[in-house]
Amino acid sequence: MNILVLVSETFKNMSDVEQAVKTVNGLGTAFKLSAVGLPSLTHVDNKTWIRPPEIVEKIRNTYEKIVPTFVIVENRLKEDMFSVYKPSLYIFTTTDWKKYSPSLTTYLIYMFACGLPSVACGLPERSSDSLDNHPDIGCISDYCGDKSNIMYSMMIGDICPHCRDLFANNGLEAHYLDSTEKLLNYVKKEMIPYRQRIKQIAPAERVNDFETTGRSNLV
């Protein structure tokens, strides 16, 4: 499946986007990503706080039909969210990535993994709203109200049974989930150096879960 990755033409870390796209495409997944600089996103990404509906409007004004697409911005999304999903369109920010990941490339690959199942099946927005996990459980759909918990989700790198069922019920073919898990396995290996940091941010039961269930997937 071809996936479009859009950034503004002034995106400062374009080389990291290109490396993340190259890595995803080189892992033998069912996805082929293509990065494109979009002039109309430049004005939007220059704002201190970005309104996702404004991005959706720019995309719809550029493309007759929204194909499976990621939009990456560098500034903060409204309400300080990591990401926002609209049918076939996954918008996320790279703000504060240094707090959560050993490299921007690793962070980008994780965010691709979070959004790919939804964009691949064109998940309806009403179904997407039921994905958020409260509390966080190490799944790609963790809400991460405490933003530092995304490190935990990146290290565990799971797709929980509820999410699997929801994606399957919305027509996602199994090989797309398999491909997403390839990306998650890559991220988990990259996150090994952060194993000690998670012990500083997670409750004791989460650390125990990580050590018992996450380690076998990391080493």
State yes or no: pLDDT of 194 exceeds 90: no
Tens of pLDDT, residue by residue over 24-77, are 999 989 999 999 998 889 888 778 888 888 999 988 888 888 889 999 999 999
Mean per-residue pLDDT for 78-87? Answer: 88
Mean per-residue pLDDT for 178-190? Answer: 95
Beta strands in the chain (DSSP E): 2-8, 32-38, 49-50, 69-73, 76-77, 83-86, 89-93
Q: What is the pLDDT of residue 1?
A: 94
Mean per-residue pLDDT for 171-186? Answer: 95
Say how far apart CA 203 and CA 201 lie, in whole Å: 7
Strand 2-8 relative to strand 32-38: parallel, antiparallel, unpaired? parallel
Tens of pLDDT, residue by residue over 135-149, are 777 889 887 767 777
CATH no. for residue 80? 3.40.390.10
From the centroid of its chain, how far is CA 201? 21
Q: Regarding predicted confidence, which is higher, 8 or 66? A: 8
- What is the per-residue DSSP string for 56-90? HHHHHHH-SS--SEEEEESSEEGGG-SEEEETTEE
Residue ranges making up the domain that contains 113: 2-218
pTM over 0.85: yes
**What is the chain's mean pLDDT, rounded?**
85
Count of domains observed in the chain:
1
Q: Select from 147, 175, 201 the least CA-distant residue to 31.
A: 175
